[in-house]
A and B are shown apart, each in its own frame.
Chain A
Amino acid sequence: MATVEVNKHLTKDTALSVFRTMQIIRQCEEQLAKSHQRGLVHGACHTYVGEEAIASSIFAHLRPEDVVFSTHRGHGHALAKGLHPRELIAELYGRKTGCSQGRGGSMHLFKPEIGMMGTSGIVGPCILHACGGGYTFKIQKKDNVAVACFGDGAVNNGAFHEGMNMAAIWNLPVILVCENNQFATEVAFSYSSGIPDVGRRAENYGIPGFEVDGNDVHEIFRVGGEAVERARGGGGPTLIECKTYRTRAHAEGMGDFTYRTREDVEEWKTQCPLKRFRAAAISDDLVTAAELDEIAAEVKALIAESHEFAEASEYPDGATAAKHVYFEGPHDPPPPAPPQGERQTTFVAGTLEALDHEMGNNPDIFVMGEGIGARGGNFTTTLGLYEKYGAERLCDTPICERGFVGLGCGAAMSGTRPLIDFMFIDFINDSFGEMINQIAKMQYMSSGRLKMPILLRGCIGIGHSAATHHSGSYHSVYAHIPGLRVVTPATPYDAKGLFTHALRCQDPVLFLEHRELMSIKGPVPAEPYEIPFGQAAIAREGNDVTVVALSLMLHHALDAAEKLANRGISVEVIDPRTVSPLDTDTILQSVGKTGRLLVVDEAFTPCSVASEIAARVADAGFDDLDAPIKTLNGVFTPTPYAPTLEKEIVPNPETVQQAIEDLLAE
């Protein structure tokens, strides 16, 4: 990659431009504080007053294609990245014209069109997202950079550690900006960190780190410029700690003097970055007082006009509240014809064919996981792909599940299609927050302007004494979350078709493979095909009773049905294939015919997919029911190790058969 020269010293033009950005931030924040007091701001409002120099100076080096991921104190970041104050103020007023169209508010500001990839109500993940942005640029061979801005509160969070390490080992074009304002809400950094400085932590990860005066525009501009130059030139990540202070309360409306003194605050006000810049720039003859005054006046009018615009804007229509949870595009293609021909593959081989085919067609797909590179995956999920597509697209990871799932989130947001291969779902639970707070919500918070094409795959299920940390079935937990697709294939044919669809759709997908199914064989066509989500399969037709069974349980249900058929009992077996979205219609149609429903799932009963299906059928199919709805689930316990214990807690063909007979006797 060619070296990119960045001007590290302020010219008159850049000086005026940085000053203008700082003015916009300051005046906008003051307007928002005032509006908060007047009730125009509906929710929380964390201002950036006192810290304006940081974003204004560093972002002066950025291009629109560079991406910024920010935190709860993000108004200044959004404005410095180029967001018009109108859109910021309107968002805080909850209006349709706001940058997130009223779905976000202060802590969820999105303007992906200019590289403002979002502020976040969760402390920490922006660091991982920036790594993801950096990974996208690496895959796409672009010399863009990804920036994360976060507070001192974030650096004691695992995301900081995992992000720093991933940025280092993959040499990502990332700039991590810690705005150390000395407090995380009311907790002093001197209390929560073993050492008083952040910048020097970088050394332990093997990347450059800096500790700068966060109220000194010149200094930040210089260090920031070097970091951008390094990142664009292929020199990798930089950590910059900007020591600063917020001179307003943590959030508007909060008390301020239980943890710090008025004197401290007054003292820091004298260090106001705008005042210091003005004094220095005038005395250095860089700009004149009149030029700065003119800018301040111009910005005043801009903010007044923006406030009026926002206040006059409409609120979003309540009827649209559930829009943009998922990608809204053309409808899914119709389901393909059932398998034909003699060709058989295993379950895993089916998904591997799909992955190979899609990776061949789409250079934006990359895989991350432990042992998925040269080794070809713990379950041979990527066998042979490393040789074909190389180390960047088949990326072995350190053991940092939260880290690489968060990275995947940022990568998907910025234009690639990550596949996270997590082996066991028990491991990916470490990244629960990344999945449900970030991945699942990005499309919604950005009012549909971001897409989230990320696929997370791995195994679930009890068997072969794997014991409780290698046998979870958490699909019900994830099916509870709006914004996720949860797929539970049961046959090699479905696995390949659903996997292909997962690699083409724009929503985040959790693809859960039962470990006891991964080596089963079945008919699988060689050519690519898609099975859309939300379309159940009628695995066996029957008239007397409907059994809904998913994943491994489908096979148990089919066994039981076969046995019962010999006795003249006709069982209809339905495989939902995806638990989110859930195809209730097909189940209802079947119950309309049979009048009886048994749901079989290995996962626990409480708050489960099984109880959800039961509830929906009890509601919409009430008059069709000839007997109570029954569920047969795994026992509500962690998974035991000893075979004699293990077999007691999962349904098997005999217990499924018994449950069907019991239901017929109802």
Chain B
Amino acid sequence: MAYDIVVPRLGWSMDEGTFAEWLKQDGDQVNAGDMLFILEGEKAAQEIESFDSGILRIPPQGPQPGDTVAVGQLLGYLVEEGEEPPFENISVGKATTKSSSDQESKPPQKDSNVSAGPAIRRLARDLNVDLTALQGTGPAGRITQEDVRAASKAPANLPATATPMGGKRSTSSPRARRIARELGLDPTTVTGTGRGGRVRERDIRAAAAQAGKTTAPATSSLASLSGKTIPITPIRRTIAERMLAGIHQAAPVTLTTKVNATNLVNLRVQFKAADLGSQTPSFTDLIVKLSAVALTEHPLLSAQWTENGIVVPERINVAFAVDTAAGLLAPVIEDVGAKTIRQIATDAQALIEAANASTLTAEQMRNGCFTVSNLGGFGVDAFTPIINLPQAAILGVGRIAKEPVVVDNQIVIQEVMALSLTFDHRIVDGAPAARFLDQLRSCIEQPSPWLMG
């Protein structure tokens, strides 16, 4: 059996050495304990002992004196009389050692919220770089200093990079940013009261409360009034925060129009006459369905503003407002476009029941992309609904009342209904929003063809 002769490790951390010379000739008999070759390690040249006996065979292509050799590299063989050494296993010159460790794979980038530490945010401010426009290359998609610097060098940013240093900069604490996210506020619009103008949690909460005051100016003075204080329930607080956000974070505009709902009323009379029980569609159900039809044509009204761009959903999920004892809830009917009116009616019925029984799950209120709020039953003509962020628009439905209407130059009595559409002007402009409303109007006026699906 052939014994391998390999480069040993001398000392604690040697990885390679210099082959100095063989102390025996090719073909010599070697006995265990004989010195076989000389190897130079980190400290000194050393004679290397053979632990085995045999005939030394030195491969012609093996290391020459002065060659660098790696620890573990095969140098030659000790063979028995007449045995052929497997020279083909011996590489020329320096052998490759263990392959270098695998490159660490980068985690996939996250494309939702901006993920960047405080230092990066400050740098971005100093360099006037918009973090929301960056793709982070750090772990878990975090934005790194390099990303920000690279972006500041990118042409689009050039004109703005000459921000004076030392200027007053506003920072916000991580907690303030988190609370702002939860309340739907933009922390950069809030004035900080912390050291160096840092925006703190209290600033965000104060800003949110302030925003509340604009709509209800009496709030603070009320506090000193004598009277009963109704505790703020979690659901009340959520509604408050969402409503505030709908006003302060979006750019809401409301359009109103009047619709001839005579055909819709007739249709509903027929449905009722058919005695469908719980599957009888309500006006809201019908309008939900018709809204989905119009949204398919005008998808921007169902889109969402995110920091990475305007996201247009694949499926139209429509939320509808339900008044419950606990407060306003907006359960979601999924994929309205693909559902029959019968399914929509069934779904809506179940959701309303759950809402009243306080058993709606968070899941059932998630992912809406448009909301229908029907106050017609309360005798309201028209109103200005508040957007349910991050949705782009909400439709307010007024009461249906008989009015004199001019049809074919004749004054006739018709069923008339007012629609109020509040939309987010950040996402969509007035004209396209008006076109959507117009299409919805025509769908309501001639509903039957759109209810086939």
Contact = CB atoms under 8 A, between A and B. Distances in A.
Most chain B beta-carbon neighbours within 10 Å: one of A30, A33, A253, A626: A626
A252 B46 CA distance: 12
A44 B12 contact: yes
B200 A626 contact: yes
B11 A627 contact: no
B192 to A, nearest CB: 11
A624 B10 CA distance: 53
Contact of A255 (B9, B43, B51, B201): B43
Given A255-B46, A595-B201, A665-B195, A38 B173 contact: no
B178 interface: yes
B178 A623 contact: yes
Contacts of A665: 194-195
A375 interface: no
Nearest to B10: A253
A625 interface: yes
A39 B71 contact: yes
B174 A623 contact: yes
B176 interface: yes
Contacts of A254: 10-11
A626 B48 contact: no
A37 B43 CA distance: 17
Contacts of B174: 622-626
A252 B41 CA distance: 13
Nearest to B201: A626
A27 to B, nearest CB: 12
B198 interface: yes
Contacts of B173: 595, 625-627
A37 B48 contact: yes
A34 interface: yes
Q: Is the interface of B mostly helix, strand, loop or mixed?
A: loop
Contacts of B176: 626
Interface string A36-47: 111100001000
A38 B11 contact: no
Contacts of B52: 34
Contact of A253 (B11, B198, B200): B11
Interface in B142-191: 173-178
Interface string B105-138: 0000000000001000000000000000000000
Interface in A611-625: 622-625
B173 to A, nearest CB: 5
Nearest to B45: A255
Most buried by A among B4, B9, B44, B200: B9
Contacts of A626: 173-176, 200-202
Contact of B72 (A34, A39, A255): A39
B6 interface: yes
Contacts of B6: 37-39
Contacts, number: 67
Chain A facing B: main interface SS: loop
B93 interface: no
Contacts of A30: 51
B299 interface: no
Interface residues of A, number: 22
A258 interface: yes
Contacts of B376: none
Contact of A37 (B51, B117, B194, B198): B51
B8 interface: yes
A666 interface: yes
Contact of B51 (A33, A622, A624): A33
Contact of A624 (B8, B178, B194, B198): B178
B194 A666 contact: yes
Given A622-B174, A666-B194, A666-B198, A255 B48 contact: no
B144 to A, nearest CB: 16
Contacts of B178: 623-624
A622 B9 CA distance: 47
Interface in A26-62: 30, 33-34, 36-39, 44
Interface in A585-638: 595, 622-627
A666 B195 contact: yes
Interface string A343-365: 00000000000000000000000
A665 B195 CA distance: 6
A36 B44 contact: no
A44 B10 CA distance: 10
Contacts of B9: 36, 39, 253
Interface in B24-51: 41, 43-44, 46, 48-49, 51
Interface string B291-315: 0000000000000000000000000
A622 B49 CA distance: 60
Contact of B8 (A36, A44, A623, A625): A36
B122 to A, nearest CB: 13
B175 A624 contact: yes
Given A36-B8, A253-B8, A666-B195, A623 B175 contact: yes
B236 to A, nearest CB: 22
A259 to B, nearest CB: 12
A253 B9 CA distance: 6
Nearest to B9: A253
A37 B4 CA distance: 11
A36 B7 CA distance: 11
Contacts of A595: 173, 175, 200-201
Nearest to A38: B6
Contacts of A38: 4, 6, 8
Nearest to B71: A39
Contact of B44 (A44, A252, A255, A622): A255
Given A624-B174, A626-B175, A627-B173, A34 B201 contact: no
Contacts of B201: 595, 626
B9 to A, nearest CB: 6
Contact of A625 (B10, B11, B175): B175
Nearest to B198: A666
A304 to B, nearest CB: 13
B46 to A, nearest CB: 5
A37 B8 contact: yes
Nearest to B194: A666
A36 B8 CA distance: 7
A93 B392 CA distance: 67
Interface in B258-297: none
A258 B44 contact: yes
Nearest to B181: A623
Contacts of A627: 173, 194, 198, 200
A665 B198 CA distance: 10
A400 B339 CA distance: 87
B63 to A, nearest CB: 17
Interface string A258-273: 1000000000000000
Contacts of B195: 665-666
Task: Give the interface centre of B12, B44, B174, B198 by most chain A CB atoms within 10 Å.
Answer: B174
Nearest to A34: B51
A355 B318 CA distance: 71
A352 B432 CA distance: 83
Interface in A478-511: none
Interface of B: 4, 6, 8-12, 14, 41, 43-44, 46, 48-49, 51-52, 71-72, 117, 173-178, 194-195, 198, 200-202
17 contacts: A37-B49, A38-B6, A39-B72, A253-B9, A253-B41, A258-B44, A595-B201, A623-B175, A623-B177, A624-B175, A624-B178, A626-B174, A626-B175, A665-B194, A665-B195, A666-B194, A666-B198
Given A622-B174, A665-B194, 17 more contacts: A34-B51, A36-B8, A37-B8, A37-B48, A37-B51, A38-B6, A38-B8, A39-B8, A39-B71, A253-B10, A254-B10, A595-B173, A595-B175, A624-B175, A627-B173, A627-B198, A665-B195
> Nearest 7 pairs between A and B by C-beta?
A34-B51, A626-B175, A37-B8, A253-B10, A626-B173, A623-B178, A626-B201
Interface of A: 30, 33-34, 36-39, 44, 252-255, 258, 595, 622-627, 665-666
